[in-house]
């Protein structure tokens, strides 16, 4: 099929995520990709500055990951994970235990970030249920949170335009203001009151950086105080590391930057290098202990047809090997230093504010585009501007951010920076 045929068939048949059916932007047919670049059927080259929704950490069409999938597909493509197991899953669990907190003891496999959150919530609720404390049902989450698009994950996310049609079907939570230097004393006092509630079951958070909420950032010290207070009251702490994991904030997991360890950690996105979908919910021995029983009613009552898929586990193991390499660590540091130099240039631009940087994530807010936040019309100008110049940037309303693959070159980064500075000069 040529580009026009693909585009027409796509428009006629396919429903894309977060996209109106009457859409001003055409869906661009991509033929292939390599490293940080996408190649379209029409011959255009596009730098993927957002890692294709934050999943692609080692570059597109990575041969090491592709070969691992191919080898596994010829040996065992899938087997029911209830009653059976296999080496790729066991190897992945062992690999994950080397980078998770020392007190972690169990790995649960699911299909994506949203379902890893669902598993974590069910794990937390059933933890209390199995101990005859079913009155513990309240969840605390941060204002502006985004944890996914299934019903449990929507319930613990911000009530926004993304979830408005489903408000009547979501369970209630307690919401804590997003912590800042200016409001943290009040936030901590409010959290103190909330965690005193006997019904409080869990505290769920995106550590250090809220992704879809606008790449908002808060400090490790703030997170440490919140987690420590919650755990002192016996409240289960759930870290949503779906976006922040795999080096995005400069450490393997964002929670590596605090002393306290969450009770449950949710992992996805970069775990397979963006090759295949996988969700992980990992927990400590405390959580596991409530499920140590031979009664079916006390088993974790969750599962998926593709749980523990061998090909996906093989991809994750290959991605893990790359992530553990000295080259990958050096690339993360290189990108951070490059972002720092870019931030110095941004600081002299009047049209931007609230510049923030953590690890390989750099973000800033645009001024002068009317409404702020995700509903801003800024995207209608930003998105096509950069695509026309061969760069994929998906702004969060009036927020421009970069979250590139670790293999992106200095030349590609400089091309992106130059295009952003030119946009700011011309608009």
CA distance 260 to 284: 12
Token pair recorded at residue 309? 């898929």
Question: What pLDDT, on the 0 to 100 scale, is given for residue 419?
Answer: 98
Residue 84 above 80 pLDDT? yes
- Is the pLDDT at 382 greater than 90? The verdict is yes
pLDDT > 80? residue 371: no
DSSP SS3 for 415: helix
For 266-288, write each residue's pLDDT tens digit: 999 999 999 999 999 999 999 99
Residue ranges of the chain assigned to CATH 3.40.640.10 = 64-323
What one-character DSSP code corresponds to residue 78?
Answer: -
Residues 6+ away with beta carbon under 8 Å from 51:
57, 270, 274, 403, 404, 405
- Terminal Cα distance for the chain, rounded: 38
Q: Is 188 in a helix, a strand, or coil?
A: helix
Q: What pLDDT was estimated at residue 369?
A: 76
* Mean pLDDT confidence for 289-299: 96
Distance of CA 425 to the CA centre of its chain: 31
pTM reported for the whole predicted model: 0.97
Mean pLDDT of 325-334: 98
Secondary structure E strands in 11-158: 30-34, 37-40, 45-48, 104-110, 138-142
Averaged pLDDT, 63-82: 98
Measured in degrees and rounded to the nearest 5, phi and psi for residue 344 equal: -60, -35
pLDDT single digits (tens) 195-246: 999 999 999 999 999 999 999 999 999 999 999 999 999 999 999 999 999 9
Q: What pLDDT, in 10s, does the model give residues 37-47?
A: 999 999 999 99
Q: For 63, what's the count of Cα atoms within 13 Å in the CB-facing half-sphere?
A: 0
pLDDT given at position 23: 79
Residues 284-294, mean pLDDT to the nearest whole number: 98
Q: 30 has which bridge partners?
A: 40
Question: What does the mean pLDDT of the chain come to?
Answer: 96
For domain 64-323, is the CATH number 3.30.450.20? no
Instruction: Give the max Cα distance, the chain.
Output: 67
pLDDT at 370 over 80: no
Structure tokens at 100: 């998770």
Q: What is the edge-to-edge ordering of all strands in the sheet holding 30-34?
A: 30-34, 37-40, 45-48, 391-392
What stretches of 86-183 adopt beta strand conformation (E)? 104-110, 138-142, 174-176
Whether residue 372 is predicted with pLDDT greater than 90 in this model: the reply is no
Q: By the 8 A CB rule, do 321 and 335 touch?
A: no
Q: What is the pLDDT of residue 325?
A: 98
**Long-range pairs for 291-300 at CB < 8 Å and ≥24 separation?**
291/126, 291/127, 291/130, 293/130, 298/126, 298/130, 300/108, 300/119, 300/122, 300/123, 300/126
Beta bridge partners of 356: 363
At 50, the pLDDT band (50, 70, 90 cuts) reads very high
Among the listed residues 275, 200, 291, 273, the one whose alpha carbon sits nearest the alpha carbon of residue 237: 200
């Amino acid at each position: 099929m040529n580009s026009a045929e693909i585009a027409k068939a796509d428009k006629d048949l396919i429903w894309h995520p977060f996209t109106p059916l009457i859409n001003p932007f055409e869906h661009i047919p991509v033929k292939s990709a390599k490293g940080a670049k996408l190649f379209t059927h029409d011959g255009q080259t596009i730098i993927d500055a957002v890692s294709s929704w934050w999943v692609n950490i080692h570059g597109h069409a990575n041969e090491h990951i592709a070969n691992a999938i191919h080898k596994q597909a010829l040996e065992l493509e899938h087997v029911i994970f209830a009653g059976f197991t296999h080496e790729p899953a066991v190897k992945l669990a062992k690999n994950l235990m080397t980078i998770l907190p020392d007190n972690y003891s169990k790995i649960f496999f699911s299909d994506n970030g949203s379902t890893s959150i669902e598993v974590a919530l069910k794990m937390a609720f059933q933890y209390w249920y199995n101990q005859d404390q079913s009155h513990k049902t309240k969840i605390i989450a941060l204002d502006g949170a985004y944890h996914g698009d299934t019903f449990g994950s929507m319930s613990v996310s911000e009530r926004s335009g993304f979830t408005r049609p489903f408000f009547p079907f979501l369970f209630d939570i307690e919401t804590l203001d997003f912590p800042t230097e200016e409001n943290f004393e009040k936030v901590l006092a409010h959290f103190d009151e909330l965690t005193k509630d006997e019904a409080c079951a869990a505290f769920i958070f995106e550590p250090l950086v809220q992704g879809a909420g606008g790449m908002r950032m808060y400090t490790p010290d703030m997170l440490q105080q919140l987690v420590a207070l919650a755990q002192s009251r016996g409240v289960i702490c759930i870290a949503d590391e779906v976006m922040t994991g795999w080096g995005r904030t400069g450490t393997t997991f964002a929670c590596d930057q605090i002393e306290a360890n969450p009770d449950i950690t949710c992992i996805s996105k970069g775990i397979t290098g963006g090759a295949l979908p996988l969700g992980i919910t990992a927990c400590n021995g405390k959580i596991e202990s409530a499920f140590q029983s031979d009664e079916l009613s006390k088993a974790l009552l969750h599962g998926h047809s593709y749980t523990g898929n061998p090909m996906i586990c093989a991809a994750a193991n290959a991605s893990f090997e790359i992530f553990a390499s000295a080259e990958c660590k050096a690339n993360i540091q290189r990108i951070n230093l490059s972002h720092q130099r870019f931030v110095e240039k941004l600081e002299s631009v009047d049209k931007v504010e609230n510049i923030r940087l953590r690890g390989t994530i750099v973000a800033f807010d645009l001024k002068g585009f009317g409404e702020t936040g995700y509903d801003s019309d800024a995207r209608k100008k930003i998105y096509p501007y950069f695509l026309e110049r061969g760069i994929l940037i998906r702004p969060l309303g009036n927020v421009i951010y970069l979250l590139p693959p670790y293999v992106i070159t200095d030349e590609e980064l400089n091309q992106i920076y130059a295009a952003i500075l030119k946009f700011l000069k011309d608009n």
